[in-house]
Amino acid sequence: MNAETDPSEIIQNERYQAKRNWTIADSSMLYGLDKWGEHYFAINQKGNINIQPTGSKGQSLDLVDLVKELKSRNLQLPLLIRFDDILEDRIKQLHLAFAKAISTYKYEGHYQGVFPVKCNQQRHVVEEIINCGKPWKFGLEAGSKTELLIALALIESPKALLICNGYKDKCYIETAILSRQLGRQAILVIEQVDEIERIILASKELGAAPLIGIRAKLSTRSSGRWANSIGDNAKFGLCVPDILKAVEKLNDANLLTDLRLLHFHVGSQINDIAILKDALQEAGQIYVELKKAGAPMGYLDVGGGLGVDYDGSKTATQASTNYSLQNYANDVVATVKDCCQSNNIKMPILISESGRAIASHFSVLIFDILGTSSVPSYVPKIQDHESLIIRNLREALSFINQVAKDKNPDHSILQEAWNDAIKFKDDALNAFRLGYISLHERAMAEQITWACAKALTDMLPYKNSLTEELTNLKSALSVTYYANLSVFRSAPDTWAIEQLFPIMPIHRLNEKPDQLGHFADLTCDSDGKLAKFIGNSQVKSLLELHQLKPNENYLIGMFLAGAYQEVMGNLHNLFGSTNAVHVRLANNGGYKLNHVVRGNTKSDVLEAMEHDPEQLLERLRINSEVAIQRGSLKIKDAQRLMDHLETTLRQSTYLQEEKGL
Ligand SMILES: *Cc1c(COP(=O)(O)O)cnc(C)c1O
């Protein structure tokens, strides 16, 4: 819906829709599923959400059936369901988009992405990504020592890149150098000036050099939420004079031949593609200069930031993006090509560190509703000898009901009727105070007033141009749905509210949702609320929901929730005892549960992410043996590597400690 749409036309449409039978197409439109769901989610004829990882022509799975069966396996709600097929498809789509752009623009180079581990550190998730990404030699990006350890242990393909970002102490640097000897494509990205000396020292000490990258601090500004992480005040990256100094120092230390990569990161969830273009042009020029200064180069890493359209609006707003995946790939490819061509320079291998765009869609959080509360709005039966006040109120109500039949009711008449109702209710209160009416009658007066309000708001379309008071009436009458979700109780200032995720019922989508509500957890404090929902053009404070049915669970899904949920207060804090399952669709229309991760609280972070430290070390030990046999790693150095890894394991604190997210 755009701003030019005539409101009365919308009213007409919506009244029309209310009259005819509600269809699943109406639900799809109302919740925006057809816009944010990509091809992964649809509504089936039963009115349930269908999961269809490869689109409507591929296999599909009824989400409600799945939840029921999981529950019968004693996997209680709330439940985090990860659809690994969707994760696989995301990786595929990303590569297809770049492949298409590369062929369209006849780019002379290829794309080779990495997944930033901080985006979802769960072992099963990272393993799945490595597995699905094999055909493209998809690699990993590490932002801290612990992430480097995870990445080193999990990467299998010797061609896959391992981008080493974040704060680097001696141990981190040595680990990266030794990983190269281990046969990994580890590229150490210089983010701070003082790292250069440490890299030079470590290289001398080990008699081996790392592959080196430089992170540029661009002057382009981001409009995204992490806008402060770039620009002149950014915490990471070298400004142009520092880059030149770095080249000089590397040259003096005979390390310039190992300078292979230029990296930049404009921030997460880039909303506006224009920002990316500016950054690409600036970085492209710096790349050219580095090449001219004698560095072999070869890689341009455009960082993360590829956005997700959470509200499906395709706009440059916080919960959306004004570009598609293909637009993104096209811009990266075309801009870099232009820059290289006009400077007569070989086009680099393109890297992106897209986290959110890969890991958002595959995970769905399902919770149920324990109960609702709302103001009573049913009309009490007519009794003998009702007082004048009650009769007045009844008259106001029947007047409103009369107007409601009108095709195009006059708003000022409605407002007047409401004013009358409010006045009569105040009269009732006064009369009660003075002893003229009974408590019973006062209760009736309140009920009829709410009934008036209900009759009025029922007439209101979802979007309307009514007076503020009538609009506020809607929220006064809204229903609180008590969600069976500990997230709001345990998250100190509820990150989940900051980030807008599409939220909608996963069944009954062939019934018209006739309530407006928001979610609260059982503590009922102000932080325990979920009252921001994606709307057609703006954030809504109330969501259209169904009335609860006796003896039937009402199931709600929070979608696109797979990226950064750990960051939002750490998975084990945030979701307390949430169970997580990994599901793969099977050929026969069934499915396979690949992993069941029982929710429980663990103190150790690595273990909380399901990584087994012993297993990580064991894998690396085996890898070291292979490298020693091959002659690329000395036994002494292998020992040193294992020492570093063990130290890192012992020290490991929060995985994302060094990321200023
Ligand atoms: C967070 C981060 C990313 C991932 O960003 P997305 O927006 O999730 O793609 C990539 N690179 C760096 C350096 C980061 O800090």
pLDDT of residue 615: 82
Q: What is the pLDDT of residue 254?
A: 96
Q: Which two tokens stand for residue 37?
A: 């769901």
Residue 457 has pLDDT above 80, yes or no: no
| pLDDT at 14 (0 to 100) | 53
For residue 305, the ligand 1 atom closest to its alpha carbon is 7
- Span of 387-396, 442-451, 617-626 with lowest mean pLDDT: 617-626
CA 591/CA 583 separation, integer angstroms = 7
Greater pLDDT, 347 or 610: 347
Q: How close is the Cα of 352 to the center of ligand 1, in Å?
A: 9
Can you tell me the mean pLDDT for 388-402?
Answer: 91
Report the alpha-carbon angle 396-400-401, nearest 5.
115
In angstroms, rounded to a whole number, what is the distance separating the alpha carbons of residues 622 and 595?
25
Measured CA angle at 504 (ends 500, 510), to 5 deg: 155
pLDDT digits (tens, 9 = 90+) for 168-181: 999 999 999 999 99
Q: Ligand 1: residues within 6 Å at CB?
A: 116, 118-119, 141, 143, 165, 265, 268-269, 303-306, 353-356, 659
Average pLDDT over residues 519-543: 75
Distance 48 CA to ligand 1 centre (A): 34
The predicted pLDDT at position 231 comes to 46
- Report the C-alpha gap between 61 and 33 in whole angstroms: 16
CA quadruple 464, 467, 472, 473: dihedral positive or negative? Answer: negative
Question: What's the gap in Å between 553 CA and the centre of ligand 1?
Answer: 38
Q: Give the angle subtended at the CA of 481 by the CAs of 479 and 484, to the nearest 5°.
A: 175
Length of the chain: 661
CATH class of 388-475: mainly alpha
Atom of ligand 1 nearest to the CA of 306: 9
| Ligand 1 midpoint to CA 318 (Å) | 16
Q: Where are the domains of the chain?
A: 187-354, 388-475, 613-649
The minimum-distance atom of ligand 1 relative to the CA of 563 is 8
Q: Are 110 and 349 in contact (CB under 8 A)?
A: yes
Res 4 pLDDT > 70: no
CA 31 distance to own-chain centroid? 17
**From atom 15 of ligand 1, which residue's Cα is the shortest distance away?**
659
Output the pLDDT for position 222. Answer: 53
Res. 266: pLDDT tops 70: yes
- In the predicted structure, residue 101 carries a pLDDT above the cut 90: yes
Angle at 229 between CA 224 and CA 232, to 5 degrees: 115
The pLDDT value recorded for residue 605 is 57
**304-313, 397-406, 605-614: which is most confident:** 304-313
Atom of ligand 1 nearest to the CA of 357: 9
The radius of gyration computed from the CA coordinates of the chain, to the nearest angstrom, equals 29
* pLDDT above 50 (res 5): no
Across 468-549, the runs of DSSP E, i.e. the strands, are 479-483, 503-505, 515-520, 529-530, 543-545
Using DSSP bridges, classify how beta strands 114-116 and 139-142 pair: parallel, antiparallel or unpaired: parallel
- Structure tokens given for 196: 């250069």
pLDDT attached to residue 660: 34
Task: Using most ligand atoms within 8 A of CB, pick from 125, 268, 275 the residue to mutate for ligand 1.
Answer: 268
Q: pLDDT tens digit string along 177-212?
A: 999 999 999 999 999 999 999 999 999 999 999 999
- Other Cβ atoms within 10 Å of 259 Cβ, number: 25
Pocket test for ligand 1, best of 163, 187, 353 (most atoms within 8 A of CB): 353
Q: Distance (Å, rounded) from C-alpha 303 to C-alpha 617?
A: 29
Q: How far is the CA of 598 from the centre of ligand 1 (A)?
A: 28
* For residues 108-129, average pLDDT: 93
Provide the residue type at 122 as one letter.
Q
Least trusted range by pLDDT, from 113-122, 298-307, 349-358, 563-572 = 563-572
pLDDT of residue 404: 76
pLDDT greater than 50 at residue 109: yes
The number of angstroms, rounded, from the C-alpha of 294 to the middle of its chain's C-alpha atoms is 41
Bridge partners of residue 505, in order along the sequence: 556
Which atom number of ligand 1 is nearest to the Cα of residue 659?
15
Mean pLDDT of 94-109: 98
Please give the distance, rounded to the nearest whole angstrom, from the Cα atom of residue 15 to the centre of ligand 1: 45
The reported pLDDT for the residue numbered 7 is: 44
**What's the 111 CA to ligand 1 centre distance in angstroms?**
17
Strands 185-190 and 211-215 come out as parallel
What is the chain's mean pLDDT, rounded? Answer: 84
To which H or E segment does residue 80 belong? strand 79-83
Query: Which residues partner with 596 through β-bridges?
Result: 581
pLDDT for res 532:
84
Q: What is the distance in angstroms between the CA of the first residue and the CA of the last residue of the chain?
A: 33
Q: Ligand 1 center to residue 115 CA distance, Å?
A: 9
The mean pLDDT value for 503-532 works out to 82
Please give the single-letter amino acid code of residue 295: A
Residue 492 pLDDT: 33
Residue 207: per-residue pLDDT: 93
3 state DSSP class of 358: helix
Neighbours of 235 (CB within 10 A): 14
The pLDDT tens digits of the residues spanning 566-613 come to 434 333 333 445 678 889 998 877 888 887 776 544 445 566 667 777
- The fraction of the chain above a pLDDT of 90, given in percent, is 50
Neighbouring-strand partners of residue 581: 81, 596
Residue 226 has pLDDT above 80, yes or no: no
Distance 355 CA to ligand 1 centre (A): 6
CATH homologous superfamily of 187-354: Alanine racemase (3.20.20.10)
Q: Whose CA is nearest to atom 10 of ligand 1?
A: 304
Q: What pLDDT, on the 0 to 100 scale, is given for residue 463?
A: 42
Pocket test for ligand 1, best of 94, 117, 119 (most atoms within 8 A of CB): 119
Ligand 1 atom closest to Cα of residue 269: 7
User: Measured between alpha carbons, how far is residue 550 from residues 106, 370, 372 in Å?
Assistant: 61, 11, 12
Query: 376 pLDDT band (50/70/90 cuts)?
Result: confident
User: Predicted confidence band at 236 (pLDDT cuts at 50, 70, 90)?
Assistant: confident
Matching fold, domains 187-354 and 388-475: no
Cα 299 to averaged position of ligand 1 atoms, centre (Å): 17
Q: What is the mean pLDDT of residues 55-64?
A: 94
| pLDDT recorded at residue 568 | 43
